[in-house]
Structure 1
Amino acid sequence: MKIAAKPEAFIKARITKGFSQRELARHSGVSHAYISLLERRKKNVGPFTAKKLSELLDKEIEELFEIYIA
């Protein structure tokens, strides 16, 4: 399974909640670089982290991430 961010939706949700990349990273327990890579779709995310980020941004996982089953 591969989970990738939908960059436009993810960035919009982050900005709407008032988080910078660094603030979202701090609250979620991941690095600023990781958030940056997610937003540029250079890195996939695990299910636990996708759930945590979705909760912080008050969105459903499906709104922020594409889930591929290979």
Structure 2
Amino acid sequence: MRIKAKTDSFMRARIIKGYSQRELAKHSGLSHSYISLLERSLKSVGPATAKKLSDLLGKDLEDVFRID
């Protein structure tokens, strides 16, 4: 099981929330490069990290992530 960001939805949610990639990284405790890789669906995340990011973005987990 791999959890990956829905690229367009994730990026749109981040922008609507007013976060740059660096700001989202700072608030989530992740690196800027990791956020960049997530947005391009090149990296997967664990369930706890996916939940944390979706909460920060104010979206349901299913709205910004998919399970492959």
TM-score for the superposition, normalised by structure 2? 0.97
Gaps of 5+ in 2: none
Flag the structure with larger Rg. 1
1:15 aligned residue: 15
Equivalence for 1:48: 48
Normalised TM-score (structure 1): 0.95
Per the alignment, residue 24 of structure 2 pairs with 24
Q: Which has the higher helix share?
A: 2
Partner secondary structure for residue 66 of structure 1: strand
* Residue 16 of structure 1, CA deviation: 0.1
Q: Distance in 2 between matches of 1:45 and 1:38?
A: 8
Instruction: Supply the distance in 1 between the matched residues of 2:35 and 2:46 (Cα, whole angstroms).
Output: 13
How many residue pairs get matched? 68
Q: C-alpha separation between the residues in 1 aligned to 2:65 and 2:49? A: 11
C-alpha displacement of 1:67: 1.1
Q: Secondary structure at the match of 2:3?
A: strand
Deviating 4+ runs (over 4 angstroms): none
Deviations 1:26-60 (A, max 9, x none): 00010000000001111001101000000000000
